Amino acid sequence: MLDCYPEDIEELAIEELEELLLSVKFIRDEPPKNYKSELGEYKLKPFNKITLGEFISLEAYFSDNYLLKLLNIVAILYRRVRVNEWGDETLEPYNYHSSDRLDWFLDFKITDVFGLLPEYIKFREGIIDQYKNLMTESYEDDFEIDSNMDAEDLKAAEEEKKQQKWAWETLIWHLCNEDLTKFHAVCDLPLILVFNFLGMKKELNV
């Protein structure tokens, strides 16, 4: 960022170093919460059209330090566009791994995409709140298993931990009707459609 070698910095006087640091002081501040709906040939997919598979992938990145996974998140949400025979724009399907596309977005500015993080978090929280009767503990903060628990509670906690670990896989397995060949078809279903039908199934007990 300073366009010099580390050895050059070590030889600088304190006053010169302070002057250089002023030129990059922006790194201490959070970027503006703006974002672009288009990045060159890529378009941002509307959050309300996200599929179940995309939501699950994004959950993996947002459950940890999502700032370190910004490129992965961008690679999922921004897609190339094709105009079909009817003149309608269609986004490319999510049939790739986000890590294969990280280099594609390195040349874009942080201010082009940073604002989508709080926007997506707001969308995610809305989904979890709207469908909270469907949500399991996998959406909550991980709990610690207390070594002071008695044998029965420890066994129950261990079982709960396993349920958390495989929550999404279990959901897809049930939606596939235990037919693994339908895995990708289920993941390509719209998230809101899936949750609406799960909510109906639970409410009507069918």
135 band by pLDDT with thresholds 50, 70 and 90: low
Enter the pTM of the model: 0.76
Q: Are residues 6 and 105 in the same domain?
A: no
Tokens of 115: 């604002």
Q: Nearest CA to 131 among 178, 51, 193, 61?
A: 193
Could you tell me if 138 and 167 lie in one domain? yes
180 and 195: one domain? yes
pLDDT of 58-81, one tens digit each? Answer: 999 998 889 899 999 999 999 999
Percent of residues, the chain, with pLDDT higher than 90: 48
Count of domains forming the chain: 2
- Token reading at 100: 């294969």
Same domain, 91 and 189: yes
| DSSP string across 154-187 | HHHHHHHHHHHHTHHHHHHHHHTTT-GGGHHHHH
Whole-number average pLDDT of the chain: 84
pLDDT band at residue 138 under the 50/70/90 scheme = very low
**One domain, residues 153 and 104:** yes
Query: 145 pLDDT exceeds 70?
Result: no
46 and 139 part of one domain: yes
**Cα(21)–Cα(41) distance, integer angstroms:** 35
Residue 150 and residue 48 share a domain:
yes
Q: Are residues 1 and 102 in the same domain?
A: no
- Residues 103 and 182 occupy one common structural domain: yes
Dump pLDDT digits (tens) for 154-170.
666 677 677 677 788 88
Do residues 124 and 171 share a domain? yes
pLDDT at 3: 67
The pLDDT tens digits of the residues spanning 23-35 come to: 777 677 777 788 9
- Let me know whether 22 and 124 are in one domain: no
What pLDDT is attached to residue 137? 42
Domain that residue 42 falls in: 33-204
**Are 1 and 39 members of one domain?**
no
